[in-house]
Amino acid sequence: MSESPSDNLTFEQCLAELDRVVRALEDGQLGLEEALAQYEIGIGLLKRCHAQLQKVEQRILQLTGVDAEGRPVTQPFDHAATAESARQATQLDHAPSAESVKRKRKKEEDTDILF
């Protein structure tokens, strides 16, 4: 397997190259084949940026408190816990309100009455 040119780039270099690719594509001056090649390069750069961000994120320490001497107590950042919290928050945002549930029940009761 050959090494991709983006394998040795820093995150900032990778992001700058991705920006260059996007500008070239948005400019609309590339032929179809060159545009497709640049798009493929851009996808590779984007994947590389995401992978680099994920590695850095795993190194983040989360402050959990202060010990008896006043030093910060840390633990490794738990991405899964953050993702779970975000998922639960999204579900709460979409949960029906008590008022909307009452209105729905009332409407169902009204339609059950025979005339």
pLDDT at 25 over 80: yes
pLDDT at 34: 97
Containing 21, the helix (H) or strand (E) segment is: helix 11-27
Give tens-digit pLDDT for 2-21: 445 557 899 999 999 999 99
Other CB atoms within 10 Å distance of the CB of residue 11: 14
Contact 6, 45 (CB under 8 A): yes
* Mean pLDDT, the chain, whole residue set: 79
Give tens-digit pLDDT for 37-59: 999 999 999 999 999 998 887 77
Q: Which residue has the tokens 């001056």?
A: 29
Q: Which residue has the higher pLDDT, 91 or 34?
A: 34
Q: Of 42, 38, 37, 44, give the one whose Cα is nearest residue 2.
A: 44
**In the chain, domain spans:** 1-59, 61-115
pLDDT at 2: 47
What CATH number belongs to 1-59?
1.10.287
